[in-house]
Structures are given as C-alpha cells and as structure tokens.
C-alpha cells in the first residue's frame, strides 16, 4: 500500500459503493496511518492484541485490517450472521481488546472496548498521516485470525501471517491476470478469506482498485458488473451466487461479458454451470482455497475450449504450491485415483488459535491435511471430489455427494441441490437429495432419478428426493449439511 501511495498516489485504491466514498492510494495510505497511531496510543507497539469487527462490508474494514498489521495487532473479522451465543464463543476464544461493529448487530457481554465501525475515521482523523515508528513483527507471525465456517464442527481460528497473505496474493494474481489496471467488485463477506484476502486485498497488492459493496444482491450486482463507468474486470463468488445471477430475471450474458475473469470457489462449481457461463462468453474459472491455505488452484482463463473440456476441475496448482493426493496410510496414489489432498507452500497457515492438538493433527511437517477427497487427471488438473466427512457408504460402495450434486445440476429446472447420506436399514446409508427449483419451473422425483440413472451407477442415485424452497447455507454460501442430515432423518 505504501509503495503504491508513492508510485501512483492519485490512482483509485478503494471505493465504498454504498456511500460513494473514494480513496486514492495516497489518501488510503494516510488514513491507515492515522488509525495506526490511534491503535498504538491505546495498545502500544507490537502488542499482538486482537481487534475484532462485527459489521457488513465497508471500506473501514480494510483500513482497520491494514492498520492492525502496521501497529503489530491481530485483526479478527467475525461473521455478523452468527447468533449471540455463537459470537460469544468466538469472542471468548479470541479475547479482543476492541470490537468495532455496526449498530444493527447485538454483541454478547464481554470485556472488550466496543466502538461503532462507522466512527473509525472520526476517531482517528486528528492523528498524523505520516507513518508511525515501525511496529511490524516478523512476516511469519500471525496478523489475521479468520474463523472457519463451522460446517464440519466448531469454528476454529486460523492464524494467518503476512507472508501467507502475500503468497496468496501472488498465487491468485499471477493465475488470474491481475494488474494495476484491474478493478474488483467485492461483495463477498470480508470476514471470509475469499472476501478479505482474494477479493479485496489481492488487487491492492497489484495496484488495482477494489469496489466494496455491503453484500451480494443479484439484481444490484448485475447492474454493477454491467456498468461501463465502474468497468469491473474481475469478480469472485461462490457457485450459488453465480446460479442466482444466471436465474435473475434481469440477467443477460452481455452484462457479464466485460469481465476478464469470473472466479468461483468456496464449494465445488458444477461442470454444467461452468460450461453454461463459458459458452455464453463469460470466462468462468473455478478454483480452490481454504481458510487454512488461502488461494491454491485456478483454471487457465485464456483458453475457453479448455475451460469447457475441464469443466468441474478446480484447475492447476498455483506457482508456490506443492500437492499430494494420498491414501489412508498417507502414501501417494496414482493419477485418476482418489485420496485426501495435502498441500504445502508459503500460503499455508501455521495452525489454529488456542488449539495446539488440532494444529498438530492437521499441520504435519509443513503439509496441511485438507480433509478433501480429490483426484488428479493425466493432464495435471485437479478435481475436488468431496469432503471426507460428507462421503457415505451405500451398499458397500463409497458415494461422494458432490458428484451426485454435479449430475443433478445439469437439469435446467434445478436451481440448487444438496445431497447428504443418512442411516438406512437396507443399504447401511442412503442418499437424500434436497432440490430447489428455478422459479417458474417444477420437477418430479422420477425425472431426477431417470436423469441420475443415465449418468451414474445405481448405488449413487439418491433414494429420497425432497423439493424445498431453500437450502440452509453459511454466510459464505456453503450448504449446512448437518441441518439437512437432521431433516433427512425425520423423513
């Protein structure tokens, strides 16, 4: 940030779309320095104190994030969609010294100093714009604490260093043609790695611009992506958001054809959806990353034919990454065979906050055990088959819900689908598919079964099909499968 403030002081760094406020690089750098002085006056230098937020996307979140790094504090953006009890659990774990929040969100009782995020610039406006005495720690020390979504257990605080963030940016930027001319629209939540690190901070490392939106709204997002004055070049979303854009009444492919890259991640993107976008002239590149690993894989976006031929792949490993696909004994498997994906590289976090036992189990000799089942094809492209915890065994055969979901997604009338496995007296476990139809469309159980039986082995075909109006999801778009399992048990 400071380098760009000198090299291109007048270039647009950040725009808050909901308030129409804009900061050039020199203005953003100066505002960060003012917050740094404010923090150091209260916490001292290199304090390692945690500074939390519970707020919708705002430019102030980025200001505070950069300021924490410069002041030697640890930034902790919390998911504002959580209940009071869930927030209390995270706040007790992180023990923040300050919590900046939006008025609309209630906080549990705690010892932290509570401030409104909207008042951040007012609180710091009388402080110097010159840099404070450097308080930055070593690059491998944690500067960011991001809590996992908790879809497979209690949320864990991932300790992310400045080095992890830098290499994540290098990975993503080189893989997606990000430059000083790039303009990102960020409406992914800034409490998530895809929002904060990939969507918001990656373009700033390259000297590009980030347009911060308070949140995703399909109609508003379409307007912004089509706006020639905003000139958005890069957009990132989870697959569910892409589906909502496509099914929006105002959607036309032309509105997204100005994008240089439409990147997706956070959950497997069905091959049918990728092919649909690419054939419409929208360069959709699916990738893979995790809170613990930041950005790791991406599809080569310059080759539309390959995007279609490899639809369903999360792509090739980025420049700094090493990959292993291993069996239950930890031995590498052959190309085409499935196993657990292990990752190693400078973007991989060091471990979990206050959880040394979990850290020791997941981070081994520099390798992170992702818990994802994956395979590599003969051309070196990787495919995420499913989460290990989501796999179930029906009639003695392994069934990966993501594979079944991808097949069902080919049906034009299906807007969303989630598949879970539950106990069954006949098969041991059986698959249950929850389906949301595209508005104005309908579908029958027999149509779904016939479609599946034509595309996969019979043991993979869901035994029960449930039409629902919505699928419960986390703030980052992942299906909350534990909730669906409980519902399936009651069928």
Beta strands per DSSP E along 333-387: 339-344, 351-352, 363-364, 367-376, 382-387
pLDDT of residue 137: 65
* Percentage of the chain exceeding pLDDT 90: 78
Asked if residue 134 has pLDDT above 80, the reply is no
Residues 255 and 219 in one domain: yes
Q: Do 131 and 85 lie in a common domain?
A: yes
Residue with the bigger pLDDT between 154 and 306: it is: 306
| Eight-state DSSP code of residue 253 | G
pTM of the model: 0.86
Q: How far apart are CA 136 and CA 171, in angstroms?
A: 23
CB atoms within 10 A of CB 332: 11
Average pLDDT for residues 356-365, to the nearest whole number?
A: 93
291-317 average pLDDT score: 92
- 213-255 pLDDT, tens per residue? 999 999 999 999 999 999 999 999 988 899 899 999 999 999 9
Domains in the chain, number = 2
User: Facing residues of 235 across strands?
Assistant: 185, 262
End of a domain among 339, 354, 382? Answer: 382
Q: Are residues 326 and 263 in the same domain?
A: yes
pLDDT tens per residue across span 406-456: 999 999 999 999 999 999 888 889 999 999 999 999 999 999 999 999 988
Asked if 144 and 242 sit in the same domain, the reply is: yes
Give the count of alpha carbons within 13 A of 172, CB side only: 38
pLDDT in the model for residue 375? 95
The answer on 119 and 157 residing in a single domain is yes
Per-residue tokens: 119: 């008042």
Examine the domain organization and report whether 361 and 426 are in the same domain: no
Domain boundary among 361, 382, 403: 382
Tokens read off for 86: 């869930």
Mean pLDDT across 186-192: 94
Residues 102 and 242 both lie in one domain: yes
Is it the case that residue 151 has pLDDT exceeding 50?
no
CATH number at residue 426: 3.30.300.30
* pLDDT of 288 above 80: yes
Same-domain check for residues 421 and 300:
no
Residues 374 and 415 in one domain: no
pLDDT one-digit tens code per residue, 32-55 = 999 999 999 999 988 899 999 999
pLDDT at 130 over 90: yes
Shared domain for 96 and 241, answered yes or no, is yes
Mean predicted confidence (pLDDT) in 131-150:
81
CA–CA separation, 201 vs 188, rounded Å? 12
C-alpha–C-alpha distance, residues 23 and 84, integer Å: 34
Q: Among 346, 363, 382, identify where a domain stops.
A: 382
3-class DSSP state for residue 104?
A: coil
Q: In CATH, what number is assigned to the domain containing residue 354?
A: 3.40.50.12780
What is d(CA 50, CA 261) in angstroms, rounded to the nearest whole number? 35
What average pLDDT does the chain have?
92
Determine the structural domain holding residue 426 and report its residue range. Answer: 390-489
Q: Return the pLDDT at 463.
A: 94
Are both 94 and 236 inside the same structural domain?
yes
Nearest to 341 by CA among 356, 359, 357, 321: 321
DSSP structure string for 381-404: -EEEEEETTT-EEETTEEE-HHHH
418 and 457 in one domain? yes
Q: What are phi and psi of 5, to 5 degrees?
A: -60, -30
* 8 A C-beta contact, residue 157 and residue 93: yes
Q: Is the per-residue pLDDT at 482 higher than 90?
A: no
């Amino acid at each position: 940030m400071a380098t760009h403030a000198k090299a291109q002081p007048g270039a647009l760094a950040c725009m808050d779309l909901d308030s129409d406020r804009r900061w050039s690089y020199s203005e953003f750098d100066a505002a960060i320095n003012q917050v740094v002085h404010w923090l150091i006056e209260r916490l001292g230098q290199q304090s390692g104190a945690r500074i939390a937020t519970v707020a919708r996307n705002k430019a102030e979140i980025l200001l505070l994030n950069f300021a924490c790094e410069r002041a030697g504090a640890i930034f902790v953006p919390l998911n504002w969609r959580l209940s009071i009890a869930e927030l209390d659990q995270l706040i007790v774990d992180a023990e923040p010294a300050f919590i900046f929040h939006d008025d609309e969100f209630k906080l549990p009782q705690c010892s932290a100093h509570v401030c409104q995020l909207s008042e951040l610039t007012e609180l710091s406006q009388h402080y110097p714009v010159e840099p404070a005495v450097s308080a930055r720690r070593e690059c491998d020390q944690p500067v960011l604490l991001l809590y996992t979504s908790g879809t497979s257990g209690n949320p864990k605080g991932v300790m992310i260093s400045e080095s992890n963030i830098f290499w994540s940016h290098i990975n993503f930027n080189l893989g997606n043609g990000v430059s000083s001319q790039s303009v990102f629209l960020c409406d992914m939540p800034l409490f998530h790695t895809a929002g904060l690190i990939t969507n918001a901070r990656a373009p700033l490392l390259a000297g590009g611009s980030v347009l911060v939106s308070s949140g995703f709204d399909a109609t508003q997002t379409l307007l912004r992506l089509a706006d020639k004055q905003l000139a958005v070049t890069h957009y990132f979303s989870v697959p569910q958001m892409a589906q909502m854009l496509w099914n929006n009444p105002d959607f036309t492919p032309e509105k997204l054809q100005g994008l240089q890259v439409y990147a997706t991640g956070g959950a497997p993107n069905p091959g049918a959806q990728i092919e649909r976008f690419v054939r419409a002239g929208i360069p959709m590149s699916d990738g893979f990353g995790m809170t613990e690993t930041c950005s790791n894989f991406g599809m080569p976006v310059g080759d539309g034919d390959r995007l279609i031929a490899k639809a369903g792949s999360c792509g090739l490993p980025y420049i700094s990454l090493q990959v292993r696909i291993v069996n239950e004994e930890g031995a590498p498997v052959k190309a085409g065979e499935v196993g657990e994906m292990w990752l190693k590289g400078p973007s991989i976090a060091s471990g979990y906050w206050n959880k040394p036992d979990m850290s020791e189990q997941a981070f081994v000799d520099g390798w992170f055990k992702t818990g994802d089942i994956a395979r590599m094809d003969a051309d070196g492209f990787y495919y995420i088959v499913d989460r290990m915890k989501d796999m179930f065994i029906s009639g003695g055969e392994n069934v990966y819900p993501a594979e079944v979901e991808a097949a069902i997604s080919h049906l034009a009338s299906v807007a969303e689908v989630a598949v879970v496995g539950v106990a069954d007296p006949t098969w041991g476990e059986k698959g249950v598919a929850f389906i949301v139809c595209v508005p104005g469309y309908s579908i029958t159980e027999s149509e779904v079964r016939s479609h599946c039986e034509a595309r996969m082995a019979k043991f993979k075909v869901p035994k029960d099909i449930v039409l629902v109006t919505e699928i419960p999801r986390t703030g980052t778009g992942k299906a909350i499968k534990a909730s669906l399992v409980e519902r399936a048990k009651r069928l």
